Amino acid sequence: LVVAAAGNEVREGVNLDVTPAYPVCQNGANGENWVMGVTSVDLADQRASFSNFGRACVDVSAPGISVYSTVVYRPTIEGFDRPYSGWWTGTSVAAPQVSGAAALLWSLNPSFSLRQVQDIIKEPGRDIDRLNVDIGGLLGRRLDLHASLAQAARTAARPAALGRPRG
């Protein structure tokens, strides 16, 4: 699975359905969705103004405004003397949250297929269209790891349930 940031613009994000970017819009030879595109939203689940969007390229949204994170730590160099810093913003800080969700899902069940992991991340996500009426349907659903883990548990249980004899 490849997870890619949808990209940022200086002022206003662009519709990737009109102006595709790569790798986020890359599909397989037969149109398979090989790349999970991620755009960023704020704490109110509204699209970050700079974030790109688009139905064909963006699969899911994740928080991408003021994300506190690790940085290069070199105590002897000014500006790098704190191991945690910054309030990072962008689709590039939203995408790792989706990558982490995928890794967590596969760690729980390594037999999940690519498609299953994509669906388990996307389907139970929060519907944020009503909060983004001007571009509804172009942001995917908002990552909801708790809901994804619950769906993963149900998905993992399904094959065993199907294999039980009737009686």
Beta strands 60-63 and 67-70 are: unpaired
Q: Give yes or no for residue 143 having a pLDDT over 90.
A: yes
String of DSSP letters for 120-140: HHHTTSB--GGG-GGGTTSS-
| Helix axes of 114-122 and 145-162: crossing angle, nearest 10 degrees | 130
Q: Give yes or no for residue 156 having a pLDDT over 50.
A: yes
Is residue 157 very low, low, confident or very high in pLDDT (cuts 50, 70, 90)?
A: low
How much is the pLDDT for 87?
83
Residue in this structure with the two tokens 């790891």, named with its chain if needed: 145
How much is the pLDDT for 160?
43
Is residue 112 very low, low, confident or very high in pLDDT (cuts 50, 70, 90)?
A: very high
The Cα–Cα gap between 14 and 8 comes to 8
Is residue 167 very low, low, confident or very high in pLDDT (cuts 50, 70, 90)?
A: very low
**What is the three-class DSSP state of 145?**
helix
Residues 128, 62 contacting (CB under 8 angstroms): no
- Report how far apart the first and last C-alpha atoms of the chain are (Å, whole number): 40
